[in-house]
Amino acid sequence: MFTQTIRVVAASFLLAALALAPESAAQQRVTTITIEDPWVATTNPGAAVAGGFVTLRNTGAQSDRLVSAESTRAARVELHEMNMDNDVMRMRQVQGIDVPAGGAATLRPGGLHIMFFDIDAQFQERQVVPVVLHFERAGDVRVDFIARPRPTPGAHNHEH
């Protein structure tokens, strides 16, 4: 499992100001988001879209929210949620994904995911797909998503 901890400072220009500010104010401006197992599913040849999955853990004291994402490998990246409703697969765009303080948001097959539209080329196994995640508090977080095949067929249904 790829785990990278990224300490994120809201905005670098704030640092100078914070250096002079009281310590409590400095702590409020800093969010700690832990990125666990960022991966994208390998795609079929010619497929224009791809799904990205990751666990976002918030070890900070304040809730945060993933509001958007972008990637150099896709023309457009959106946050989506899939669900099954009487054998009908439904997909909807979500405006953000909350990452509660001391909690986590899990993006995984069958639920929330990052949706890559019009990818530049097939996502092949072990490729790195660079993504920038935009958080409400944490700001921009650069994450390398690794391409791998979907879980063994049939395994998806054991998660819910």
Partner 1 sequence: MSTEARRQLRWTDWPVLLLAGLAGLLAILVVLYVTTKPGAPPQENAYAAFARDIDDVVLIGADGAPVRWGDLNGKPRLVFFGFTRCPEICPTTVAELSAAIEALGPDAADVEVAFISVDPARDTPDVLSAYFSSFGPRFNGYTGERAEIDRLVRAFRVFYEHVPTSGGDYTVNHTAITYLVTAEGEVVDIIGYDNPQDRTIAQVRAFLSSRGV
Interface with partner 1 includes 94 (CB under 8 A)?
Answer: no
Min dist. Cβ of residue 125 to partner 1 (A)? 12
Beta strand ranges found along 44-138 (DSSP E): 49-58, 64-71, 74-85, 88-93, 97-99, 104-107, 112-119, 128-135
Number of residues that bind partner 1 (CB under 8 A): 36
In contact, 133 and 82? CB cutoff 8 Å = no
User: Which CB, 7 or 120, lies closer to partner 1?
Assistant: 120
Interface with partner 1 includes 82 (CB under 8 A)?
Answer: yes
Considering only 6, 17, 61, 150, the residue that binds partner 1 (CB under 8 A) is: 150
The residues facing 107 across adjacent strands are 54
Interface with partner 1 includes 2 (CB under 8 A)?
Answer: no
Considering only 36, 37, 78, 81, the residue that binds partner 1 (CB under 8 A) is: 78
Interface with partner 1 includes 80 (CB under 8 A)?
Answer: yes
Measured CA to CA, the distance from residue 155 to residue 149 in angstroms comes to: 12
Measured CA to CA, the distance from residue 114 to residue 124 in angstroms comes to: 17
In contact, 148 and 42? CB cutoff 8 Å = yes
The closest alpha carbon to 68, from 96, 33, 100, belongs to: 96
Interface map 13-42 toward partner 1 (x if CB under 8 A): ----------------------------x-
Provide the binding-site residues for partner 1, judged by CB under 8 A: 41, 43-51, 76, 78, 80, 82, 84, 87-93, 109-110, 113, 115-117, 149-150, 152-157
